[in-house]
Structure 1
């Protein structure tokens, strides 16, 4: 099994929370625009089949693009249930599916406890399945994580790791931890707005749910930010490090910096005021400049 996510993908909450018909149309257009992977942001809910069924539907709307549910929570479905749904998909669907696994958040996941140990146990259970259902292959799964222990786990138990809301310095450090080979696919949030006040206000609205999460806060503190950066909806320093905003040149330069410091793939999240909307205009605007970044 050899999944090729390409160098640039699109990360969006709209794929899991937006209108289904619009999602299929958007998926088909994004493939034609040249994006290599569609990342399904968020978790559709507690339905054990929900993540992969949504994924399968988007895969059916495309013919080449990899589709990746960015973070299937280990608390929402057992390993055998997830493997059963995965193995039930047609092979032509499975061959383009990259399954993101994660531990969620302590403030929103009722069962959250001992995240590293729990994820290890979940992966052990996936790998120990024999027969019906068969295991989910290691190259078909990626871990959604930020810390060094999780990165090392991803290097040995999955195709790689996808951090969210991180800096280019974090990308460089994570590449060092992973070594050569494992996939490093950070998501990069962008705001196509040149007004500093407007761009930062849009970014702060998107960041707000994460500021309250201890696992994200801990990662930012490890990255050199201080407690003062995490109050009052996030300092300008934090916003400017986590979000690429401004001109197309400035945005593509930030994405290129992630690629140049160790990322194999960048999942681009276009942030607008419509959280679950499909920013087609922005995706089209970015497509050609990102192709040039991809080939450089």
Structure 2
């Protein structure tokens, strides 16, 4: 019997934009890093940015068990037939280990952005015709309509930049069966000022994107929370920082709210440039 995606990914995974690098000179480094993540016990690796099956394939080849998913592939990035062909090729080589994470991206980032919900439903229609199974795809869903689509036409949802409160609401919409795998950011720093400085420097780019700011407002944050790089209240809600006990407590809050899996993104002053391998080891140890 085929293992479901929900069972395969386990309780924790790593979300990383660094692992999707296309630099051939870094191939050995990336393969070594993802193999270590598997040995550390992470159940999944989620590739940030506009990632595709081409980014996932070499990482799957360097590992034996871990699931590798796109988080996300934008539906505006490539047509559904190309996506289906990529999925089929990778799934044939590594059965059941590739998760196709799809999203509608953001208006400010996409030329001719329009009717995102309709764009996603049309894309899923094309994937259905091409034979991409619904139980191997997940959606980057924030609002109720997209969460409903994650429930009805995918294996579940991979919400990005959310809180435990959002997770509780998402679980109510999804029901018990679908995978709910929120992304959560971690700064391994106990000093409040330094931790928030690192977090705020990373968060500021997302506060220009209406999908995220709209979701924050739905969750009860205010325009003041969103201004000037984010209030301490917002920073503390969407990042875990502090000592080991505090970080464990913050991650556990997502599971208590209904998450099956938490995709942990380590944020440092060099996020996007260097692999945070020391931090991944520390995080694996404190969550063991």
Range of TM-score over shorter length: over 0.9
Secondary structure (helix, strand or coil) at the match of 2:94 reads: helix
Partner of 2:213: 217
Deviation at 1:239, TM superposition (A): 0.4
Q: Does 1:41 align with 2:41?
A: no
> In structure 2, which of residues 241, 245, 249 is the aligned counterpart of residue 245 of structure 1?
241
Name the count of aligned residue pairs: 280
Q: In 2, Cα distance between the equivalents of 1:288 and 1:231?
A: 35
Q: In 1, Cα distance between the equivalents of 2:29 and 2:114?
A: 37
Question: Which aligned pairs between 1:122-271 and structure 2 lie closer than 5 A?
Answer: 122-129=123-130, 135-271=131-267
Contact 1:75 1:111 in 2 (8 A): no
Q: In 2, Cα distance between the equivalents of 1:21 and 1:275?
A: 20
Structure 2 spans left out of the alignment, 5+ residues:
none
> In structure 2, which of residues 255, 280, 283 is the aligned counterpart of residue 283 of structure 1?
280
Partner of 1:81: 82
Q: Does 1:14 align with 2:32?
A: no
Structure 1 spans left out of the alignment, 5+ residues:
45-50, 130-134, 292-296
Contact 1:104 1:112 in 2 (8 A): no
Q: In 1, Cα distance between the equivalents of 2:95 and 2:50?
A: 19
Question: 1:93-151: per-residue Cα shift (whole Å, max 9, x none)?
Answer: 1420011000011101113211111101111111123xxxxx21111100012111110
Q: Does 1:95 align with 2:96?
A: yes
Q: In 1, Cα distance between the equivalents of 2:112 and 2:34?
A: 33
Please, what is the CA RMSD of the aligned residues?
1.2
Are the structure 2 counterparts of residues 112 and 94 from structure 1 closer, same or farther at C-alpha, using a change threshold of 3 Å? farther
